[in-house]
Amino acid sequence: MKIDFAKLQYQYQLYKTEIDTAMHSVLDKSNYIMGDEVRDLEENLQNFTGAKHAITCSSGTDALLLAMMALEIKPDDEIITTPFTFIATAETIAFLGAKPVFVDIDEKTYNIDPSKIEEKITKKTKAIMPVSLYGQPADMDAIGTIADTYNLKIIVDGAQSFGSTFNNVKDSCVGDISTTSFFPAKPLGCFGDGGAVFTDDDGLAKKMKSLRVHGQSKRYHHQYIGMGGRMDTLQCAVVDVKLRHYAKDLALRQEVAQKYTKALQSKELILPFVDKSATSAWAQYSVRVKNRDKVQTRLKEQGIPTAVHYPMPLHLQECFAYLGYKKGDFPVAEIVSKEIISLPMNPYLSDDEITYVAEHLIAATHFSKIDNN
Ligand SMILES: *Cc1c(COP(=O)(O)O)cnc(C)c1O
C-alpha cells in the first residue's frame, strides 16, 4: 500500500467542479486583487467562526505580523510564547524587533504551559502568543486570567487550528486577535499562500485592513507603515468553496483521529491528548515513539510517509542564539521534539489505510526496540 499524507489531489478531485467554476469566474472577471470573492470569503469566515471581523491576508506568517503591528508591538517589547512551534511564531516577533520569551510546554497537550508563564512576565511584556499546536487550542482559561491580571494582549497563532474550539468558542475568537493560515497543508488550505486575522475589536479590524494595504487610509494616502499583505482573489475563491465543506471535513478528521487512537493502543506509543475543554482541528495526528529515526525509516519502506513537527525547539535554533538560551532550558519541549512523529492525516483516510498505518507503526516500534538492544 502507498499512503498519501494529506490527499490534496484527492480533495481537489472531490470538489473539482465547484472549485473550477469559482476560479474561472475570477478569471472571467480578472478581478485578481481585492475582488468580490475576498469580501465573500471574509463574510463566510465571520459566519463560520462567530468573529465580528475576519480579514484575509497573504499568509499565516503575515497574519501574525499584521496582528502585532496593529497592537503596536515595538522593538524591545517582550512577547511570551512557546518554543515548540513552527518558526514563524517567534520569527515574526523578532522580525518586528521585539523579543520572543519562551515558556516550556505542557507534557500532555504540547501547548504552552500556563503555570510557567507568570515567572517570565516583566515590565516589557506586552502580549502572550499561544499556538494551537496540531489543531488544539492552548489552555485559554488560564492564559486569559494571566493576561487580565497583567494587562497583556493575547494573540492566538491558530495557523493549524481553524475550526477548533475552546469552551465551545472557535479558536479564532479566543484572543484579542487570532490568526490562521491557508497554506495548502493546513486543515483549510488554498492553492498557494493565504491567511486571515480575526478580532471582535472594530478599531483593530480597521487598522489591520489598512496595514494590509500599505497602511493606506484612502488611495495613495498612508496613515501607517504597513505591508503588501493582501490575499489573492483566486485563493479566496478556492477557500470559499472548501469552507462550504469544512464542517464535514472537520468531522471526518475527528473520526480519523478516533480510529487511529483505537488502533494504536500500545505501551510503546504516547498518543495525542485533547483536553476536555477543547476540540482539535487535527492538523496533525502526532505520536511519541522511542527510536524515531528507525521507526520513520521502517514506515517509509512500507509506503507510509511521516513528518516531524518539529525536530528542533526554537530556543535552540541558530537564528535565536542571540537570545542566550541553552540546551536544558525547556526540557519538555526538548524531549518531545526528539520523540514526536506525525502520521498521515486528512479527512479521507480509509479504514484500511488507518489499520495499515497502525499495524506497521506498532510493528516498527517493536523492531526498533529489538534493533536497539
Ligand atoms: C504554518 C504555520 C505558520 C505560518 O503560516 P504560513 O501561511 O505558512 O505563513 C505560523 N505558525 C504556525 C504554528 C504554523 O503551523
Residue 180: predicted pLDDT = 98
- What's the CA gap between 29 and 133, in Å, rounded? 38
pTM: predicted TM-score of the whole model, two decimal places: 0.97
Q: Using a 6 Å CB cutoff, which residues line ligand 1?
A: 59-61, 85-86, 88-89, 131, 157, 159-160, 181, 183, 193, 195
Q: Compute the distance from residue 262 Cα to the ligand 1 centre, in Å.
A: 30
User: Which CATH code fits 246-372?
Assistant: 3.90.1150.10
Decide: 111 and 82 in contact? Cβ < 8 Å: yes
- What's the CA gap between 134 and 54, in Å, rounded? 22
Grid-cell match 506525525, residue found: 342
Q: Compute the distance from residue 181 Cα to the ligand 1 centre, in Å.
A: 6
Q: Compute the distance from residue 186 Cα to the ligand 1 centre, in Å.
A: 9
369 pLDDT above the threshold of 80: no
339 pLDDT above the threshold of 60: yes
Q: Compute the distance from residue 155 Cα to the ligand 1 centre, in Å.
A: 14
Instruction: Provide CB contacts within 8 A for 52, sequence distance 6+.
Output: 46, 199, 200, 201, 202, 205
Residue 372: predicted pLDDT = 55
Going by C-alpha positions, the residue among 358, 334, 335 that lies closest to residue 345 is: 358
Name the band, by pLDDT with cuts 50, 70 and 90, for residue 373: very low
Per-residue pLDDT tens over the stretch 85-113: 999 999 999 999 999 999 999 999 999 99
Concatenated DSSP letters of 288-324? E-SSHHHHHHHHHHTT---B-S-SS-GGGSGGGGGG-
Grid cell, residue 130, equals 499561544
Instruction: Provide CB contacts within 8 A for 221, sequence distance 6+.
Output: none
Grid cell, residue 335, equals 524531549
Q: Please state the domain extents for the chain.
A: 8-244, 246-372
Grid cell, residue 178, equals 487570532
Instruction: Provide CB contacts within 8 A for 15, sequence distance 6+.
Output: 241, 242, 245
- What's the CA gap between 156 and 346, in Å, rounded? 23
- What's the CA gap between 250 and 281, in Å, rounded? 6
Decide: 341 and 296 in contact? Cβ < 8 Å: yes
The H or E element that residue 79 is part of is strand 78-81
Beta-carbon neighbour count of residue 66 at 10 Å? 29
User: Which CATH code fits 8-244?
Assistant: 3.40.640.10
In this structure, the residue with its CA closest to atom 10 of ligand 1 is 88
Per-residue pLDDT tens over the stretch 237-283: 999 999 999 999 999 999 999 999 999 999 999 999 999 999 999 99
Q: Which of 58, 95, 157 to mutate to test the pocket of ligand 1 (most atoms within 8 A of CB)?
A: 157
- What's the CA gap between 273 and 109, in Å, rounded? 6
Determine if residue 95 is left, alpha or beta; phi over 0 gives left, psi from -120 to 50 gives alpha, anything else beta. Answer: alpha
Per-residue pLDDT tens over the stretch 197-222: 999 999 999 999 999 999 999 999 99
- What's the CA gap between 66 and 72, in Å, rounded? 10
Beta bridge partners of 278: 166
Q: Which of 57, 58, 59, 61 to mutate to test the pocket of ligand 1 (most atoms within 8 A of CB)?
A: 61
The H or E element that residue 142 is part of is helix 140-150
Answer whether 8-244 and 246-372 agree in fold: no
- As to burial, measured by CB atoms within 10 angstroms (0-12 exposed, 13-18 middle, 19+ buried), residue 243 is buried
Measured between alpha carbons, how far is residue 27 from residues 240, 290, 339 in Å?
Answer: 16, 51, 46
- What's the CA gap between 275 and 347, in Å, rounded? 21
Ligand 1 atom, smallest distance to 89 CA: 11
Residue 330: predicted pLDDT = 98
Going by C-alpha positions, the residue among 168, 169, 158, 184 that lies closest to residue 67 is: 158
Ligand 1 atom, smallest distance to 194 CA: 7
Q: Which of 57, 62, 85, 183 to mutate to test the pocket of ligand 1 (most atoms within 8 A of CB)?
A: 183
Ligand 1 atom, smallest distance to 183 CA: 7
368 pLDDT above the threshold of 80: no
Q: Compute the distance from residue 348 Cα to the ligand 1 centre, in Å.
A: 23
DSSP reduced 3-state for 177: strand
